[in-house]
Structure 1
């Protein structure tokens, strides 16, 4: 599914959060939205999810305006948002069951996605028994269980330690290569964006400052030719205003 963001603006009271945002995300593309805290990237993601609505402009999927949440757009949050009173398998099967899938079939689907994220032996555990990285794997499996065309991820690895974060980045790329959903991934980490994305959208002050095609073949590592150069180009855009202010 093609996602189109067309001249979108958003205010909260007197504060302008987004202004004249235009972006097209192609089907099966992995796009990272990168920027400092407060630049509007999470607000944009929440509008794509259908949790918020633009004050100006429109967001469309295959030409159809977004009018609210949809199972076609799955969301993964930074805090994983699992139901603590449900087991892992119950958390993952919840969405398909709510959508009308028979319980047995929903559990079978949930088990397959649990296997995809490597946690099949934890089906009957509760979230409190899992590590941070394991909870995020369950969160990803839960989002995927509803078979979304677009997967939205709001800094899902931001609260993890560096080693777990690196592992989760590799896991996400592996899952993406297998299922090929369209992914819109919000982050404030330049290295994470360059490692994961086909394109990196840099946001500043509620606007898109630049868009970078990464163009580095996968499997991609921090030592891949061009990786450091891509990071440097993005950093220059992010730091331009700060450098001018200090000049």
Structure 2
């Protein structure tokens, strides 16, 4: 589904992504984790077509990515909701931009709002929503366009622990009901282990380690010791980077 080949992205003289290679299989999930400034968000924005490479290339479904792709949806850290539009209109935004007829837009928006249990808030504005509700609306808007690739940038970072886990459970439920390719950037180790079939640990604009995660999708995984053993494995790899950077 995603093939990153020798990718280089610079901001002026600063190298954010340095000759990176990565492959993500179709209809799988990939969690990307690493220290601040390691290039995680730049990689995600490159996959979304919002940042253009200086060198190298990105292929999605075998096609070279040269900009914003119709079947790619992005969920931003700050939810990206337009404050002057209601929940309904925010969710409908992507469909309107794609020229979908009004009747189909209404059917799709109503269906997705009900599916994600946010329909009762359809006439509210973003300022009237909690953080969890806002993020749920962001997920609704992303899924309304029926994407085959979902990109998430720190989707639960501003939420309390229990709300964070509810949103993680929701993403997992969505994936199990209708598999699609999901790439999620996170600082949270438990989130990476919970949502990533593949866990990519980044450092200095490149891939440090890739872990194939056998505990992805396991029911009640947070209650199992093996889940936290995997979290510890990821933590040790992250701590190695911090140790060597201090030397």
2:221 counterpart SS class:
coil
What is the root-mean-square deviation in Å for CA atoms of aligned residues? 1.4
Partner of 2:242: 242
CA-CA distance at 1:243 after TM superposition: 2.8
For 1:245 and 1:38, locate their aligned partners in 2 and report how far apart those are by CA, in whole Å: 13
Partner of 1:137: 136
Partner of 1:170: 169
Partner of 1:188: 187
For 2:210 and 2:12, locate their aligned partners in 1 and report how far apart those are by CA, in whole Å: 29
Residues 89 and 107, structure 1, Cα contact 8 Å, conserved in 2: no
Residues 8 and 16, structure 2, Cα contact 8 Å, conserved in 1: yes
The range that moved more, 158-167 or 224-233, is 224-233
For 1:153 and 1:228, locate their aligned partners in 2 and report how far apart those are by CA, in whole Å: 23
1:78 counterpart SS class:
coil
TM-score normalised to the size of structure 1? 0.95
Residues 195 and 220, structure 1, Cα contact 8 Å, conserved in 2: no
CA-CA distance at 1:209 after TM superposition: 0.2
Partner of 1:55: 54
CA-CA distance at 1:163 after TM superposition: 1.8
Seen in structure 2, the aligned counterparts of structure 1 residues 11 and 78 have a Cα distance that, compared at 3 Å, is same
CA-CA distance at 1:147 after TM superposition: 1.1
CA-CA distance at 1:210 after TM superposition: 0.3
Residues 16 and 204, structure 2, Cα contact 8 Å, conserved in 1: yes
CA-CA distance at 1:246 after TM superposition: 6.0
For 1:88 and 1:246, locate their aligned partners in 2 and report how far apart those are by CA, in whole Å: 46
Partner of 1:31: 30
1:138 counterpart SS class:
helix
Seen in structure 2, the aligned counterparts of structure 1 residues 123 and 241 have a Cα distance that, compared at 3 Å, is closer
Partner of 1:228: 228
CA-CA distance at 1:79 after TM superposition: 0.5
Seen in structure 2, the aligned counterparts of structure 1 residues 240 and 105 have a Cα distance that, compared at 3 Å, is same
Seen in structure 2, the aligned counterparts of structure 1 residues 23 and 246 have a Cα distance that, compared at 3 Å, is closer
List structure 1 runs of 4+ shifted beyond 3 angstroms: 244-247
For 1:164 and 1:19, locate their aligned partners in 2 and report how far apart those are by CA, in whole Å: 35
1:208 counterpart SS class:
strand
User: For residues 20-169 of structure 1, what are the structure 2 equivalents within 5 Å?
Assistant: 20-169=19-168
TM-score normalised to the size of structure 2? 0.95
2:73 counterpart SS class:
strand
For 2:73 and 2:245, locate their aligned partners in 1 and report how far apart those are by CA, in whole Å: 40
For 1:211 and 1:218, locate their aligned partners in 2 and report how far apart those are by CA, in whole Å: 20
Partner of 1:201: 200
> Can you list the C-alpha shifts for 1:181-233, whole angstroms capped at 9, x where unaligned?
11000001111100111110000111100000110152242232421221121
Residues 71 and 147, structure 1, Cα contact 8 Å, conserved in 2: no
CA-CA distance at 1:245 after TM superposition: 5.6
Residues 203 and 241, structure 2, Cα contact 8 Å, conserved in 1: no
Equivalenced residue count is 246
